Amino acid sequence: MSEAQIKSLEEEFEARIARNEKIEPKDWMPEKYRKTHIRQMSQHAHSEIVGMLPEGNWITRAPSLRRKVALLAKVQDEAGHGLYLYSATETLGVSRDELFEQLHTGKAKYSSIFNYPTVTWADMGAIGWLVDGAAIINQVPLCGASYGPYARAMVRVCKEESFHQRQGYELILTLAKGTPEQKEMAQDALNRFWWPALMMFGPRDDDSPNTEQSMKWKLKRKTNDELRQQFIDQTVPQAELIGLTIPDPDLKWNEDKGGYDSGKINWDEFWQVVKGHGPCNKKRMNTRVAAWENGQWVRDAAIAHREKQEQRKMNKTA
Amino acid sequence: MKKEWPLWEVFVRSKNGLEHRHFGSLHAADADMALVNARDVYTRRSEGVSIWVVESKHIKASNPEHNGELFEPAQDKVYRHPTFYDLPDEIKHM
């Protein structure tokens, strides 16, 4: 194809998106659109898969059967969300094995929040309430993404996500209303997860060079800072209601903007964790790679079984 | 050995009376496993009463680049639609 032809295809493509048309897997698309989507969608899938690890830590130690079935169901949903998103990503012409390879070698990223440890049971509450709460704010706009398979996967994910946040909030509210020790535990979890949760929305708009392109492609509908503000405004009253304190001395209601002003985020910490130097980066990846490698014989055995069955069928008809 | 499990497309009937609809895809070693996996991945909240799985490689899909030849001929055949025909106003239900 000549450059002029590609240019006119690109213009037609941008116009389709501007008209709110969806792009489907076999449609022509610019290479950059394909690559950017593979990157973002797989990063999203990886986050769901790695996101199971900090919670898996607590399943066997849940304090009641009610809490245990809820946590199990939530972790199973996360596996499901990872699978929806991986198969949506594969429609762009990349294989599941390639995606895993990118995760396991560190070439692909996942949400940094999962590189923080879960040291007490209250962390299960903080994760559901804050981490899933932030995820919902990030994800709801993506139900309108221009790439059809991604938008469809997100609709399914969002439907299931609200139970995650509600079970987390219920858990932490129960602790906050419990003994002084339990309340302290809830406050401590909030203290540790508040700032990393704010970082989940990504760097400040000034430091986010891809935002403009992503907005055009509807891979993003609001900027990082707008989403972060929405999360703060929504979460502060939820903390107050259960008697917990947001660990930010600069947090103050601003009547003029109709939202909260908040303190400075430690961006050095953010970039440290992104670059692999967070408290649990190595541990998470080791656990993930071990699970994949130790499962190899199962995957091989299943294929061998299939081949044997097919052979048997052929012998019968022969 | 390192062979990737093949890809399957999953179709779910959400309740009797409705058709099976494409829900998504997944990997599985064989058809039985694809069914079991489809149940876990796509019907955790009673989304269905029946599941079909078919290996993705068996689906032949039309090419959107040929949409012109394929679908445009239908556009100038307005006589296939009821509104093409002129009837007297007195006829209310036809």
Interface of B with A (CB under 8 A): 1-5, 7, 24-27, 29-30, 33, 40-41, 44-45, 61, 63-65
Mean pLDDT for the stretch of residues A154-171? 94
- Please report which helix (H) or strand (E) contains residue A147, including its range: none
Question: CA B50 to CA A262: how far, in whole Å?
Answer: 51
pLDDT digits (tens, 9 = 90+) for A254-284: 999 999 999 999 999 999 999 999 999 999 9
Inter-chain CB proximity B25 and A24 less than 8 Å? no
- Coarse DSSP helix, strand, coil percentages of chain A, rounded to the nearest 5 percent: 70, 5, 25
ipTM: 0.90
Burial environment of residue A71 by CB neighbours within 10 A (0 to 12, 13 to 18, 19 or more): buried
Inter-chain CB proximity A309 and B30 less than 8 Å? yes
Q: Which residues make Cβ contacts (< 8 Å) with residue A10, sequence separation at least 6?
A: A30
* Residue A63: alpha-carbon gap to chain centroid: 26
Question: CA A217 to CA B84: how far, in whole Å?
Answer: 40
What confidence score (pLDDT) does residue B75 get? 82
Is residue A111 scored above 70 in pLDDT? yes
Inter-chain CB proximity A306 and B30 less than 8 Å? yes
Closest residue on chain A to B26 (Cα): A87
Average pLDDT of chain A, as a whole number: 95
pLDDT digits (tens, 9 = 90+) for B21-40: 999 999 999 999 999 999 99
Q: What DSSP string runs through B10-58?
A: EEEE-STTS-EEEEEEEE-SSHHHHHHHHHHHH-TTS--SEEEEEEGGG
Inter-chain CB proximity A88 and B24 less than 8 Å? yes
- CB contacts of B61 in chain A (<8 Å) are 26
Is residue A49 scored above 70 in pLDDT? yes
Give percent above pLDDT 90 in chain A. Answer: 92
What is the identity of the amino acid at A244? L
Q: Nearest Cβ partner of B64 from A26, A97, A302?
A: A26
Query: Do you know the residue count of chain B?
Result: 94
Min CA distance, A81 vs chain B (Å)?
A: 8
Global pTM exceeds 0.80: yes
Closest residue on chain A to B38 (Cα): A80
**Angle at the Cα of A49 (from A48 to A51), degrees rounded to 5?**
65
Give percent above pLDDT 70 in chain A. Answer: 100
Question: CA A24 to CA B10: how far, in whole Å?
Answer: 18
Is residue B2 scored above 80 in pLDDT? no
- CB contacts of A306 in chain B (<8 Å) are 29-30
**CATH number for region B1-60:** 3.10.20.520
A95 touches chain B (CB under 8 A): yes
A299 touches chain B (CB under 8 A): yes
